[in-house]
Amino acid sequence: MKFSPRYYQIEAVDAIFDYWSSTAGHPLVDMAGGSGKSGTMAMLIKRLYDGWPDMRILSCVHVEELVGGNFEEFVGMAPFAPAGIYAASIGKRQSHAQILFAQLQTVWNKAQEIGHVDVMIVDEVHLVPNDNNTMYRKLIDALMAINPDMKIVGFTATPYRLDSGRLDEGEDRLFDAVVYAYSVEQGIDDGYLCRLTSKPCDFTYDTGGVRRLGGDFKKSDLAVATDKDELTRAAVAEIMRYTDLEDRKTAVIFCNGIAHAEHVRDEIRAHGKTCEVLSGKTPKGERRQIISDLKSGKLWGCTNDNVLSTGTNIPCIDLVADLAPTESTNRYVQRAVRGTRVVWPVGFNPDSTDAAGRKAAIASSTKPNCRYMNFAGNIERHGPIDCVTPRAPGKGTGEAPIKVCPQDAGGCGEMVHASARVCPNCFREFELLETPKFSAKPTDVAILQSTAEPETRRVTKRVFRYHEGKAGKPDSVKVAYMTGLTQINEWVCPAHSGFAKQKADQYWFRHRGKDPAPSSPLEWIKRQAELADTEEIKVRPDGRYWQVLSQTVAAVSVEDWGAEVDDGIPF
């Protein structure tokens, strides 16, 4: 099937070039797992190559399957481009290819052989450690020594570090800003991703005596706490119960170490299901066969020691059992989204219809949703996968606010966020004990927040007002949109730091404001004439209020904006 770019892929590539048109930095793209990062990267590379035919581009990733997949995606768009592969596991070492797709483990010490690189694209960038004495950092530092002007573009579904905090925060950060984000919630709303569902498990592991090491639970302590025969039997029995009740066809089970994975595998086999173990020690040929058997349906399940949390494209996964407690938000989200890929009905083209048509196709498919089984207690620990807030180093370990759709009152038992108004599984309305308050953060189901359908409103007037901060927080800008007779409000925070500031900057530049972006609400209001009009907003009910999901900016002429983008290299 011919590649048809989706609107958000086009927007993501445009956002990178918009960023480079005003800032000489390293941009980061946050795209939900299964939403098409490979295609987006291929579009970016093609646009760079078409615009600057002499440009040297390096695409680097740590997983063999992703090297080949990213290469194939690109040559499908540009079959005559000078592209090559440098990956020992694939048996190719085309180090002098102008557009080079490489595996980190092969090239981390080959910078001199690779030579000058203009743009380096890193997939699954959340795996790049902060430590300079690592493969990624050594390669990047060596390539920067050859070309100090090299630009790095990162792609990830989880823009936060493995231990804590965001990838675009901290003095040692590699990336300067998230320039585009496409969330799990947006993917499901657009009908491009499959919904996740979760109900309370009969038990969760007790991590009370487990020590911490390197920002997460200590693996040896976790093994002692979780790898017990009675717990394994209970967990597998519950997995089998849901498998039989809901006809789950393909399962991935995350475990604590190889021994735990083997014990869980043996218990699953005792229930008559085919199951294998994958670990970092699994031979490459055996690894390929296991993944192939999972994709084809020959194998029902696979236990693993977190090796299937990234770089795994197995659309048929409809059950994710998480038996591995983690304090890493990154690891938790990456595991959960293994189940968001869609299995389309035979002959169905998702790009030939609208969101409603895609959702209907998913509902009628062999995989209408994916069950996430929360034995590890990670939902309570981190919250919904599409509104998690990674803790800063040294912060507390409080649990996310969770409630359960009450079965004794006619509900279904689905786990939801404490402020959810409607169960997204059975659509039961919750009785609200207090008046809902406006929240800038979307809230809903614990494993996935999705309630009312978003809708688009045309903006007839937009007003910026100074909003005084409370409880010691910095002041902000209140954006009031008039949509017919309704006023809908949004807050932007130019005086804040971290992600709030980056969101404010993203709003400013998306509305064609000049660089640098304002650093205070007063400056924002003084310079508001620089901004293009907001044509439409996409909103969703949030209690008594409306939550603004996105804005559509009014078109501007080439004379007013962007003529300089076409003049020279965009950084």
Q: Two tokens at 99?
A: 């557009």
- What pTM was computed for the model? 0.69
Dist. CA 321–CA 301, nearest whole Å:
10
pLDDT of residue 397: 46
Query: Is residue 569 scored above 50 in pLDDT?
Result: no
pLDDT of residue 233: 96
Query: Is residue 204 scored above 90 in pLDDT?
Result: no
Dist. CA 555–CA 461, nearest whole Å:
16
Please compute the mean of the pLDDT values over residues 287-316 and round it to a whole number: 90
Full set of structural domains in the chain with CATH? 7-182 (3.40.50.300), 195-382 (3.40.50.300), 455-553 (no CATH)
CB 331 within 8 A of CB 306: yes
Indicate the range of 65-79, 251-265, 478-492 predicted with least confidence. 478-492
Query: Is residue 44 scored above 60 in pLDDT?
Result: yes
CB 200 within 8 A of CB 404: yes
Among 126, 130, 6, 106, CA closest to 58: 106
Please compute the mean of the pLDDT values over residues 479-486 and round it to a whole number: 81
Return phi, psi of residue 435, to 5°.
-65, 125
